Amino acid sequence: MRKIIFILIVAVVFGCEKNDEGYANVRVELELPTHFPPMTYDLDNNPLTENGIELGRKLFYEGALSSTGTVSCGTCHEQKYAFTHHGHTFSHGVYDLEGTRNTPPVQNMAFSENFAWDGATGHLDLFSIIPITSEVEMDESVENIIKKLKNKSGYGVLFAKAFDDGEINSENFLLALSQFMVTMISADSKYDKYIREEVTLTEQEQQGFVIFEQKCASCHTTALFTDGSFRNNGLQPSAKLNDLGRSVVTGFAADNYKFKVPSLRNIAITKPYMHDGRFGSLESVLAFYDSGIIDSETLDPLLKNDGNIGIPTTLEERAQLIAFLNTLTDNTFLEDERFSEK
């Protein structure tokens, strides 16, 4: 079997044409993992460039995106934890205010069709607006951010280098953030190396892989380990929050308590788990699926089998499953300097 390429970002010079501001901007081509599904993000509308990606990285870690000037995207999305807010049940934003959902990872975003736990937006370019405008996250407006960036040293040159018109405006601001997030591809875990026939799995990991394909892969599909759908997995609704999930967006009762199926990549380091961070370990997650599921009108049909509810597993099977899930940790991604604050 041919080795699957996992070097993800390759600079490709398409001539040395300069933009309207007189700056040369090198185009970048993504060389995608061949075991991944097709990318959903349309690069024709936002071609990757070295300067655009670099601007997006700087904006990702820019505190001026919040009303207090202290909370950046990177505050709640820490690289060493697959860009999650490690140890926090809910995200913490300005003035240490607490949100109502667990911070999802930022990885393989270019392959997703919907974003946020409830799919509040279907476009990566609009995704950043959600935390920016949330009163308990960044509590800011894009309009005010643009004003601050125009007055902040260095950004005039960075925008001039990144975009043909050189403008510091909302469109270029959001496009730069997307360029950075598009490059954040996690595809070099032990599992990926196994698929590329570079390593072998231990007997326990292999057994866990078999069980995973039998009992988990219906929802956690493809090399992304998610089908991107919205499902009610039988969690007992919180009496305090009563988060209705997807139906908050659609308005349909049929979507009550449905949340986006999360990717399991880097799952071993992204605890706590579920949209409300109620589980602190993978063991507790598997125990829940075995015997903790609550039936309801919108419970996913895949969790109902022959009159029984849940995904039964033995203690041995759970240990094997966790061994396999540990192979999804991608240290290359977690330590990649291209994604760091620098």
61 contacts 88 by C-beta, under 8 angstroms: no
Mean local confidence (pLDDT), 293-320: 96
Q: How confident is the model at residue 5 (pLDDT cuts 50, 70, 90)?
A: very low
**Cα-to-chain-centroid distance, residue 255:** 22
Q: If we measure between CA atoms, which residue out of 304, 313, 280 comes closest to residue 210?
A: 313
Read off the pLDDT of residues 167-210 as tens digits, 9 standing for 90 and up. Answer: 999 999 999 999 999 999 999 999 999 999 999 999 999 999 99
Superfamily assignment of 190-326 in CATH? Cytochrome c-like domain (1.10.760.10)
Answer whether 9-186 and 190-326 agree in fold: yes
Domain residue spans of the chain: 9-186, 190-326
pLDDT 10s digits, 36-79: 999 999 999 999 999 999 999 999 999 999 999 999 999 999 99
Q: Confirm if 163 and 52 have CB atoms less than 8 A apart.
A: yes
Q: At CA 299, angle to CA 294 and CA 303, rounded to 5?
A: 85
Residue 172: enclosing H or E segment and its boundaries? helix 170-182
pLDDT digits (tens, 9 = 90+) for 203-220: 999 999 999 999 999 999
Topology of domain 9-186 in CATH is: Cytochrome Bc1 Complex; Chain D, domain 2 (1.10.760)
**The two three-digit tokens of residue 176, written as one number:** 């730069």
Report whether 311 contacts 289 (CB < 8 A): yes
Q: Give 131-146 as a 3 state SS string.
A: HHHCCCCCCCCHHHHH
